[in-house]
Amino acid sequence: MLQRCFAVTKGHLSKYRLLANELTPAASLEANEIILNIDRFAFTANNMTYAHAGGPPLNYWHFYDKLANDKTLGIIPVWGFATVALSRNSNIAEGSRHYGFYPMASSVKFNPSKADVPSFTVTRDDPELAAMYNTYLNTASDPFYTTSSCENNMMIFRPLFLTSFFLNDYCWNQFRSSVDQIILTSASSKTAFALAFQLKQRGVKVIGLTSQRNVAFCETLSLYDSLYSYDQISEIPSNTTKTVVVDMARSHDVNLAIDKHFAKHIVQNVGVGMTHNTVLSGDKTALSEHAQITRTFFFAPAWIKRRIAEDASIMETAAASYVKFTATSDENQWLDFNTDMTVEEVYAASESNSVNPNTGLITKVEP
């Protein structure tokens, strides 16, 4: 069986190539091993974050490094669906369909460390990788999977929604009523407006920051109390307002402007993603001392692990909230799915940051 992989050059993400690997023939598949054909996957700004955070300390390259067979190349992980083509594991049926964290490839071979009918778990070569990425869920019993028509929403929204759900949970745990407002950068991003959806249900004042070209889209969502473009930061009322920033954009210039305008009124600035990439190259010493000490990084897998240990039912709550959110999204047509693009087209659009915020990119993998 030939495995086709989409690989990018580490440090030069605009450069990519297609690779072909020979997977184990069916006759020599070892006990417990399975091969899945990857049917479909989504590609969002979240996946570009994985690429920009491919090295230490998050090491997203380590999930599927071996498929590249070249240390200069990396395989970006994606969320999607795959069907078990071959199985030597008695708990994983051939033909069963699983949602999970796959490589950008046509197929993948796993040797599950744990398996039952609802799910299986794999062990990565790097034990430091977050465990939440290691479980693959059978669509027949997954509480997030309601009907086959939910798949596009699941691939686009589920990983982003879980980040937003636990960001909401983090903010509630950390701040409760001790802040007056929460500012979300990259307000047009799906993670941001999913978080705004949940914050509004708690009665929190939410301000959106986005590029000028995305202000109109954010207005159609009706999730933000007020919206500003990045060049309007100085126009946001600050006074003595206690403010938390949830920073999806991670732009150095945006952070400088927020620091200058709000100064010590910022209670905490929570960095989440890397929609804009300049945060890594900017001079952090240009930020005030207050901005530096109130800056923190939210790593969803670590917080999810902690909260599941504290509350075993929290994923059921997340599933119920997710179903409510996606139903609202469908009703209001917040997202239009594009399923006609090739892997190369999807990646090129995402890498150039030219995707409209109301578009969800889904790639159907050719057999």
Tens digit of pLDDT for each residue in 211-221?
Answer: 999 999 999 99
Residues 137 and 210 in one domain: no
130 and 174 inside one domain: no
Same domain, 171 and 294: yes
Q: Are residues 108 and 218 in the same domain?
A: no
In a domain, 341, yes or no: yes
| CATH number of the domain to which 208 belongs | 3.40.50.720
Assess whether 138 and 178 both reside in one domain.
no
* Domain end position, chosen among 253, 279, 301: 301
Mean pLDDT of 362-366: 86
Give the domain range for residue 66.
2-142+335-364
Terminal CA-CA length for the chain: 11
> Structural domain tally of the chain?
2
Q: Output the pTM of the full model.
A: 0.85
Co-location of 203 and 275 in the same domain: yes
Verify that 11 and 135 share a domain, yes or no.
Answer: yes
Q: Is residue 264 part of a domain?
A: yes
Q: Which of the four pLDDT bands, split at 50, 70 and 90, describes residue 26?
A: low
pLDDT for position 53: 86
pLDDT of 281 > 50? The answer is: no
Do 6 and 117 share a structural domain?
yes
Residue 323 in any domain: the answer is: no
Mean pLDDT along residues 195-216: 95
Are residue 135 and residue 186 in the same domain, yes or no? Answer: no
Instruction: Answer whether residue 90 shows pLDDT above 90.
Output: yes
Statement: residue 40 has pLDDT above 90 = yes
Q: Are residues 199 and 119 in the same domain?
A: no
